[in-house]
Amino acid sequence: MAKTTGFLEYDRVTGPETPVSERIKNFKEFHGNLPLKEQQLQAARCMDCGVPFCQAGMMIAGMASGCPLNNLVPEINDLVYQGNFEQAYKRLSKTHCFPEFTSRVCPALCEAACTCGNNGEAVCTKENEKAVIEYAFENDLVKMEEPKTRTGKNIAIVGSGPSGLAAAAMLNERGHNVTIYERSDRAGGLLRYGIPNMKLEKWVIDRRIKLMEKAGIKFVYNTNVGKDISSNELKDSYDSVILACGASNPRDINVPGRDANGIYFAVDFLSKVTKILLDSNFKNVPYELAKDKNVLVIGGGDTGNDCVGTSIRLGAKNVIQLEMMPKAPEERTASNPWPEWPKVLKTDYGQAEAIEVYGKDPRVYQTTVKEFIKDEAGNVKAAVIIKLEAVMDHKTKRMNMVPVEGSEETIDVDLVLISAGFLGSEDYIVSDMGVKCDGRTNVLTQCGSYMTSVENVFTCGDMHRGQSLVVWAIREGRNAAKQVDEFLMGYTNL
């Protein structure tokens, strides 16, 4: 598989990145590509390791290890090494609908489980994947043709995020008539409005949507199911309905002063920035949202990091990012062995930019907000933050982060972005559709199933499994499509 001694001969090399001083001046993607010849050498590092955890997609110690889509990683890497990018694309497309998305935004679970990474640096599988899909687009290999025969079955999909798009692509290929309802003005869900342009330029989404439309998939925009159109209308008009609305109910911070002006949910802020940029063809940059402001980001995940990077591009005076949990170790601990997901310190692009721009890491660990302070006009002007410590709850046997009395500190704040995760599905669509939810407010299904408590109504993606990764959403959409197909036809060949 690939070059037997490649991992010994070649060091890991990734694509070039635009320097921080230049990339923060715009919202363009800043991670470039290697020349194909150099990418082939990176693929040569893939070992004939015998047990490729990279493609396992299995749960180990409660965490995913390897690709949830079960991409045939060693085979793809071997084809890239040989320079056979066309066959590599064909192999990749057997398991993956949208490599152009994951090769830009996925945290690369495949690389975390790479055998090379157990004693050295992992294979650049994510960049190999990007090279394959971009080669395929450049050489007109990516085809989504309208089926020659239609089944006569009509399916409505609510939500055009990655899970909804994946389900639509497969069901349309099978010959079903698919209509996607999207409450926004453009397709993509959080791909469009939750992930900033510098991580995923929106022409990448538009390129795929055009192919899907050409293949016969219909998109209905600016239509909010449960408000603009009732779920009963959908159930009466379609043979099956798939709910792929995401886990779009944000977790709030309920402390005194929360009603102050200048406090926003992170996704609302990111969506607003992206929409202004898109509507103006990137001519209108909304600097007024953050310029010369002290920005406080609450939450340490990917979305929080995106808020840091976006605020810097909008000219923020300073950015502080609060994390409730302790700082992770820089190397794996003995209790976190390979091939488990590595619970180690990760400094993402936004944090790296803040370090260079402001001279320090924006993250403050084991800290949360106790109170927001308003000025006379009702605008937030400061925040009282407080340290946290881990304390054992003897009833649940779990460690909880609790405030340390007397550790309060007041900091100047002009803009607050809450990135504390999501609580699951929004109430209005769940209530209107009449589906049951579990204790985590995700739409309830039987284990291993995607059918809800309402016959003919299915669910997938974050709405089903809770807030997760794009790669998991795509897998959910593909699996739901197979079950819908079997429900409608009595069998499935997807």
pLDDT digits (tens, 9 = 90+) for 211-233: 999 999 999 999 999 999 999 99
Q: How far apart, in whole angstroms, are the C-alpha atoms of residue 165 and residue 474?
A: 8
- The answer for residues whose C-beta is within 8 angstroms of residue 57's C-beta and 6 or more apart is 64, 65, 66, 67, 68, 69, 70, 109, 475
Query: What pLDDT, on a 0 to 100 scale, did the predictor assign at position 394?
Result: 85
311: its two tokens: 């605020």
Contact by Cβ (8 Å): 371, 255:
yes
Question: In a 10 Å sphere around its CB, with 0-12 CB exposed, 13-18 middle and 19+ buried, how is residue 22 labelled?
Answer: exposed
Could you give the maximum distance between any two Cα atoms of the chain, in Å?
A: 71
Question: In a 10 Å sphere around its CB, with 0-12 CB exposed, 13-18 middle and 19+ buried, how is residue 139 labelled?
Answer: exposed
Contact by Cβ (8 Å): 51, 114:
no
DSSP H/E element including 157 = strand 154-158
Query: What pLDDT, on a 0 to 100 scale, did the predictor assign at position 46?
Result: 95
Question: In a 10 Å sphere around its CB, with 0-12 CB exposed, 13-18 middle and 19+ buried, how is residue 52 labelled?
Answer: buried
Q: How far apart, in whole angstroms, are the C-alpha atoms of residue 262 and residue 257?
A: 11
Q: What is residue 428's three-state secondary structure?
A: helix
Mean pLDDT of 134-154: 97
Query: What pLDDT, on a 0 to 100 scale, did the predictor assign at position 32?
Result: 96
pLDDT at 1 over 70: no
Range list of H helices, 218-348: 231-237, 266-279, 302-313
Mean pLDDT of 375-402: 94
Query: What pLDDT, on a 0 to 100 scale, did the predictor assign at position 182?
Result: 98
Query: What pLDDT, on a 0 to 100 scale, did the predictor assign at position 396?
Result: 85
DSSP H/E element including 357 = helix 349-358
Query: What pLDDT, on a 0 to 100 scale, did the predictor assign at position 265?
Result: 98
pLDDT at 146 over 90: yes
Mean pLDDT of 33-50: 95
Contact by Cβ (8 Å): 91, 75:
yes
Query: What pLDDT, on a 0 to 100 scale, did the predictor assign at position 214?
Result: 97
Mean pLDDT of 158-175: 98
Mean pLDDT of 377-403: 94
pLDDT at 89 over 70: yes
Mean pLDDT of 308-330: 97
Contact by Cβ (8 Å): 135, 89:
yes
Better-predicted residue by pLDDT, 395 or 203? 203
Mean pLDDT of 238-262: 96
- Arithmetic mean of pLDDT over the chain: 96
Using omega within 30 degrees of 0 as the cis cutoff, is the peptide bond preceding 339 cis? yes
> Which of 269-283, 414-428, 470-484 is predicted with the least confidence, judged by mean pLDDT?
414-428
Per residue in 279-297, pLDDT tens?
A: 999 999 999 999 999 999 9
Which residues, listed in sequence order, are joined to residue 89 by a DSSP beta bridge?
Answer: none
Query: What pLDDT, on a 0 to 100 scale, did the predictor assign at position 424?
Result: 86
| Domains and their CATH numbers in the chain | 6-138 (1.10.1060.10), 154-248+423-489 (3.50.50.60), 263-418 (3.50.50.60)
User: Would you give the distance in Å from CA 44 to the centre of its chain?
Assistant: 29
Please tell me the pTM assigned to this model.
0.96
Q: How far apart, in whole angstroms, are the C-alpha atoms of residue 186 and residue 219?
A: 9
